[in-house]
Amino acid sequence: MNFIETRGNDKIKPSEVSFSEAILSPSASFGGLYVPKELPKLEDNFLQNHLDCDYKQLAFDILKAFEIDITDEDINQALALYDNFDDGLNPCPVVKVKDDLFVHEQYHGPTRAFKDMALQPFGSILSSIAKQKDEKYLILAATSGDTGPAALNTFKNKENIKIACLYPDGGTSDVQKLQMVCEDGNNQKVIGIKGNFDDAQNALKKLLSSESFKKELENDGIKLSAANSVNFGRIIFQIIYHFHSYLELLRQEEITYGEKIYLVVPSGNFGNVLGGFYAKKMGLPIKKLLVASNENNILTEWINTGIYDISNKKLILTKSPAMDILKSSNIERVIYHLFGAKRTKELFDSLNENKKFQLTKEELDLLQNEFSAINSNDNYGKEIIKKFIDEKYLMDPHTATCLKAYENLREKNLKTVIYSTAEWTKFSPTVLNALKEDDEIYADKDALEEISSKYNAKLPQSIKKLFSSKIIHNSIIDKEDIEKEIVKFIREA
């Protein structure tokens, strides 16, 4: 299967590329993204045939349906990394919390967040391709808190790979920051920037499309790629676990074959819910995708009104920081699949020039056939965390936003899966505020210990050891100095 460009072709880049080419060089014409030329349509009996399969077999068969140009050996090697999760056969369990509500726990990997589900195998595949081609790559990652630790973990000490990770100083939890700045791989650079996640992501996109920066790297024999969800290598693995959600409900005898369900996804950069959109297009019986936002409600406004306007918006720092995003990358792929390349380029040219765009009434109707959206605030999230701990279920503030969609957006009483994208350990001070119903300022270490002891919550060893780990990366720079700092890292390494 080949991949094409969301904004059309500039007559310089190839009009179609293979999967390996798309993940090695993810920047497409006119600043666009790569998407599959066509989505595979899975056979009617696909779900029945996978009812007794483990997660790795499901993932292998979905990847093969895309006809990617990756050897079976490399795919299996990548998928074997799920054995490092809490349960290799079921790396993302689906847990029943109410009669019609289930939590898909995506945080059982090495860095305790959903990014491991895609980045663990993706990093393995990209590294294998680079080694086979005998090419050296710089991998860029911009993070609002979870992509960074997961990307650094998967690419750590990989041959032919260097990785530079950008994070907003003050814009992540302490645990997330420690997971990055204490990384001791010999091929890693972690850079804090004075700005927010949008600044980090904009810098990443600018570098990916910068011919002068690529030329600078080429002088050192290095090519450029990315670990963010602008890279379809991330997205392809984010399709798989939505099928797993459905299969788990079948296994638990909560639904019957063909019965439709709702999926609720806490959203920032839209990659996770995009995976659900693709799964639905491939034949998974999804009634609708429900999008949960925090106070940075740009996605809610867009889905409800058709207007995407960041011209007068300022990013709000919330207690669900992974969703503190205004410029959401993966809506571009949805727009392409609904409206085509010409219209996608028009809309994103407008966003780049005017910081806004607007869908037509007909386009908005198509969008709303696929998605509904709602937003909540920090107080609501804390109330939900408290409510569910009283019912013996502990969740993080991002997961808590999903309950607003569950309570308000469902048009039918169908079984509903919400996506828990991070373990409570990543945001323990906020969780402790919720549980104690106070506004005290707690240190992460103290909050972790109190929650663990009082609420019988397991504290992973990987989180415990962070507080005695040595800080390796101290760089905090102005965003204007990012390129210079990365070139310095390349030259010194």
Q: What would the pLDDT profile of 429-447 be if each residue is shown by its tens digit?
A: 999 999 999 999 999 999 9
- CA dist 278 → 135, 156, 270, 338 (Å): 31, 30, 12, 12
Residue 286 phi, psi dihedral angles, 5° rounding: -105, 125
In sequence order, the 6+-apart residues with CB closer than 8 A to the CB of 163 are 138, 139, 140, 141, 151, 152, 155, 185, 187, 188, 189, 227
What tens digit of pLDDT does each residue of 376-409 get?
999 999 999 999 999 899 999 999 999 999 999 9
**Closest residue by Cα to residue 63 from 19, 108, 15:** 19
Average of per-residue pLDDT across 355-359: 98
pLDDT, tens digit, 9 for 90 and up, residues 37-60: 999 989 889 999 999 999 999 999
CA distance 439 to 364: 40
Q: Which two tokens stand for residue 217?
A: 């790297």
Q: Which residue has the higher pLDDT, 350 or 171?
A: 350
Neighbours of 37 (CB within 10 A): 11
Contacts of 405 (CB under 8 A, 6+ apart): 264, 290, 291, 292, 372, 373, 374, 418
pLDDT band at 492 (very low <50, low <70, confident <90, very high): confident
In the predicted structure, residue 227 carries a pLDDT above the cut 60: yes
For 231-239, what is the mean pLDDT?
A: 97
Q: Is the pLDDT score of 107 beyond 80?
A: yes
Handedness of CA 104, 152, 166, 230 (dihedral sign): negative
Q: Give the pLDDT of residue 111.
A: 97
> With 80 as the cut, is the pLDDT of residue 170 above it?
yes
Cβ partners under 8 Å of residue 41, min gap 6: 282, 283
Given a cut of 80, whether residue 493 has pLDDT beyond it is no
pLDDT at 339 over 60: yes
Is residue 469 predicted with pLDDT exceeding 90? yes
pLDDT of 125 higher than 80: yes
E strand or H helix at 265: strand 261-266
Evaluate if pTM is beyond 0.85.
Answer: yes
Cα(212)–Cα(226) distance, rounded to whole angstroms? Answer: 17
**Which amino acid is residue 322, in one-letter code?**
A
Report the pLDDT value the prediction gives residue 400, as an integer from 0 to 100: 98
Residues in contact with 412: Cβ distance below 8 Å, sequence separation at least 6, in sequence order: 287
Q: Is residue 65 a contact partner of residue 42, using CB atoms and an 8 Å limit?
A: yes
Q: What is the mean pLDDT of the chain?
A: 96
**How much is the average pLDDT of 276-286?**
98
Find the mean pLDDT for residues 465-489.
Answer: 95
Question: Any idea of the CA torsion for 128, 131, 132, 134, to the nearest 10 degrees?
Answer: 160
CA-based nearest residue to 274, from 355, 334, 185, 204: 334
Nearest to 203 by CA among 490, 488, 473, 484: 484
Residues shown for the chain: 493
Domains of the chain listed by start with CATH number: 81-113+233-467 (3.40.50.1100)
Q: Could you identify the residue written with the tokens 């980090």? A: 200
Residue 45 · residue 258 · CB < 8 Å: no
Which pLDDT value is given to residue 114?
96
Confidence band (pLDDT; 50, 70, 90) for 491? confident
pLDDT tens figures, 214-225: 999 999 999 999
Task: List the one residue out of 230, 287, 233 whose CA is nearest residue 258.
Answer: 287
Measured distance CA(493)–CA(488) in Å, rounded: 8
